Structure formats: C-alpha cells, structure tokens
Structure 1
C-alpha cells in the first residue's frame, strides 16, 4: 500500500513539475515517451500541432510499474557487470588494442528505431524526409524531397533542410550516458549517395548551458552512381559551430562525451535526394597524426 501511494504521488508530481521528471525514473516510461521529449522543438506557425495526452489515459497499473522496476534493475545489473569487466564491458587489454569498431549497422527495423528524422516542417517548411530499410534489409535508406520555399510567418529567413540523428544513450533509470570515442581518431562510413553533399554533425554534452547549441561539423561528399563508397573522416577535421555559424574560438571534439551523431542535407537545391548507409564505425588510423586542423587563439586577459 505504501508503494502504491508513492507511485501515485510521483505521477501527480510528474504532471505538476514536468521539468523535473528526472526525479521519477520509474514512472517515466509509463507517462510519456522520453525520446520524443528529447527531440521536441519550438513550433512556429504552419507546423502540425502536437497531440497532448490526457492524464485520464495514463496507465497507473501497479503490475506494470513493478515490471518497469524489474527491467531497470536488470539493466543496472548489466551496467555494473560491464563496469567491473572494463570500459564498455570489454577487458582493458582488448579496449586498448582495439583498432576498429562498428557503432551502427542497419539490418532490421530495430536498428532504424535508434534514429530520428526531422525537416524544416518543424518551422513551417515543406521539405519531406523518410527513413526505411534498403534492398534486402542491408542498409538504411534516407530519402525525400528538399524544398527551399520560406514559410510566410514574417520571421523565418531560410528554409530547406532534412536530417537524420541518432538517439542519445540512456542508462538504467533514464540516466544520461555518452559514447567514448577517445580511443579512435576517425569516423568510418560505407554509404551510397546521389552526388549531393551532406553535413556530418557530432553533438557532445556541454559543460555549460550556453553551449547547448554547439555542434561539430564536417562535410561528406557523395559520388552518386551504382557503387558504394567508403568514407573516412578524421575527427581533427571537425569544426565547431553554433546555430549554423562557424565559431572563431575553435577546439577539438570532446570525444569522451559524444551524445549523438547526425547527417543533414541543406545544399539549397530543390528536388529529391537519397542516401544509403550500410554501417557507421570508428577506426584508429596510425598514419593520421594531425591533432587539430584549425588555428586556435588564446584569449588575451582583460587589462
């Protein structure tokens, strides 16, 4: 009875204090979709309204709460076992000598569910984007139509983009987790495009709130045609941007706190686009010795 009362009190606090839902990891999966909240964005005129769930439709089942608790405790147990074994659940000797690693491959719908897609529809635009499995379920097929027509809201100046982004890692009880890529120096992809350029985006968890819009970007040029191509992008080539503007103060990626990886097309060319991705991985290229490709400036102290 005491546990039931605690669960109901948590549900009440969740509806009154949504911004503090991290305090309710047990009821989080029951009351809302946590991943959809992570990718919510400001809706401008012309975008589709969000459907709000009523509290009457919330499932307060005691059995379901116990099942969620058991699953979260099981996940916590596996995380603890992996931590005792070594980084990422691998022995330290294996982790240090690791030269290649596959992060994502696309062979089933479950693999696609680890990603989200978005477009300028969120700001009232007209671009379309879709993500599905390719031929023989051997790749992810990202396709759609780019439309640079600016919405008539009196505020937006530019439009015409579509993107695909991985969902951030979540540990037990909705804890934030990060990818640690510090043991590698290059991103490695096998793709087949239509000749259009893409922007590869890496988002790291910021230390300060004013850095929440910071992204590390670099370009990926596809050849087009029937043949697959393997692309290697050193992390030293990624440059820092914020809200689409390249920053003067550049610094290398914080590879130990990577949150998400994404791809964006916005080349200002109206028409269809297509990108197939076989896998996304990491390599440690011993021949690449460059630490950072861009100049860094030391700020002069204020006199």
Structure 2
C-alpha cells in the first residue's frame, strides 16, 4: 500500500500538535500542493518550546500494515533533521516510536526504515524497556521536528509506502 498526495482531500487527514501544549509558540501545518505533502511551519524556542508535529491515522494502510516489514518515505528536505513517528497501543499515550532522518535538499530520495530502526521515546527520552514495534498496533503516524533550531522548515513528501 502506498500513500500519495494526488488527492487534495488528504490534507484534511493531518493535524498539528505543536509545543503550544506546553506553552511554546511553534507553529506547523500540513498542505497538499502539486502532488506532494508538505509538513511546514516555524519552530520557536521561546517559552521553553522547540517542536512542531503533524499526525494522521493510518487509514488506507489497513489491513496491510500488519504484514509490512517497515516504511519507506520519498522525501526532499531543507537541511534539517526530522522524525517519522508511530503511535502504538503497546506504548502509553505520551510515548511513540521514532526514526530520525535528514533528507537531501537538492533531490528526492527514498529512505527505507525497517521496524527495527525505530526506537521508543517519551518526550524525547529513550525508553530502554519498551517492546519492539508491532505493526498491527500502530494507530497513528506523523512527522516531528525538534532539532533545537529556531526558524522556518519544510519537509516535502512524495509518498509513504509499506516495505514488504
């Protein structure tokens, strides 16, 4: 199963969760423009903030998600480091599985992330005792930027696909 961004309605499935939940003033959004998804906004370090994220449920990937070996992203970046994040019923609601990546700025590239590449975190702290990713328990996926750098950002996403 592959998620592409040819349908402008895809934009409505994504929602932002930024550092405003803890007093920060970073802002982000998700747009679908010319066949690509764009996670964009501005990170601010004011008021103890410093992160921005967007999320969506994995509708469209079921039931194939349970059989996948991981996730591949076709992306183009802006020189900043991002995280692909997965929420799972095997972790508490404040925790997630993440993999960090810094995509090329000058070209599209496809990055492959097997489930073993993901690490469990809670508010940026690694959870050493967390279970490995169980694909059938993933109920949300998203992108996060928390690179301790203030300023605008834009991650371009052409496709999200499951590894077989």
Q: TM above 0.5, one fold?
A: yes
1:48-197 alignment runs, 5 A limit: 101-102=1-2, 104-134=3-33, 137-150=34-47, 158-167=48-57, 169=59, 181-197=65-81
Aligned with 2:116: secondary structure? helix
Q: How many pairs were matched up?
A: 162
Q: Give the Cα separation in 2 of the matches to 1:132 and 1:198.
A: 17
Aligned residue among 237, 240, 243 for 2:123 = 243
Kindly tell me: are residues 120 and 188 of structure 1, through their superposed partners in 2, closer, same or farther at Cα, counting changes over 3 Å?
A: same
Q: Which has the higher helix share?
A: 1
State the partner residue of 1:221: 102
Q: Deviations over 1:136-161 (max 9, x none)?
A: x21012211111112xxxxxxx3111
| RMSD value, Cα | 1.9
Q: Which structure is richer in relative contact order (CA contacts within 8 A, separation 6 or more)?
A: 2
Question: So what's the TM-score if we normalise by structure 1?
Answer: 0.50
Kindly tell me: are residues 272 and 241 of structure 1, through their superposed partners in 2, closer, same or farther at Cα, counting changes over 3 Å?
A: same
Structure 1 residue 180: deviation in Å? 5.1
Q: Which has the higher strand share?
A: 2
Structure 1 residue 112: deviation in Å? 1.2
Q: Deviations over 1:225-249 (max 9, x none)?
A: 2x11111111111111223321121
Tell whether 2:89 aligns with 1:205.
yes
Structure 1 residue 123: deviation in Å? 2.7
Kindly tell me: are residues 281 and 250 of structure 1, through their superposed partners in 2, closer, same or farther at Cα, counting changes over 3 Å?
A: same
Aligned with 1:111: secondary structure? helix
8 Å CA contact 1:179–1:257 kept in 2: the answer is no
Aligned with 1:200: secondary structure? strand
Structure 1 residue 179: deviation in Å? 5.4
Aligned with 1:113: secondary structure? helix
Q: Deviations over 1:36-58 (max 9, x none)?
A: xxxxxxxxxxxxxxxxxxxxxxx
Structure 1 stretches of 4+ with a deviation exceeding 2 A read 121-124, 178-182, 210-214
Q: Deviations over 1:146-193 (max 9, x none)?
A: 11112xxxxxxx311110111365xxxxxxxx7552322121111111
Q: Deviations over 1:41-98 (max 9, x none)?
A: xxxxxxxxxxxxxxxxxxxxxxxxxxxxxxxxxxxxxxxxxxxxxxxxxxxxxxxxxx
Larger radius of gyration: 1
Kindly tell me: are residues 257 and 179 of structure 1, through their superposed partners in 2, closer, same or farther at Cα, counting changes over 3 Å?
A: farther
Q: Give the Cα separation in 1 of the matches to 2:12 and 2:57.
A: 9
Gaps in structure 2 of 5+ consecutive residues: none
Kindly tell me: are residues 164 and 193 of structure 1, through their superposed partners in 2, closer, same or farther at Cα, counting changes over 3 Å?
A: same
Question: So what's the TM-score if we normalise by structure 2?
Answer: 0.89
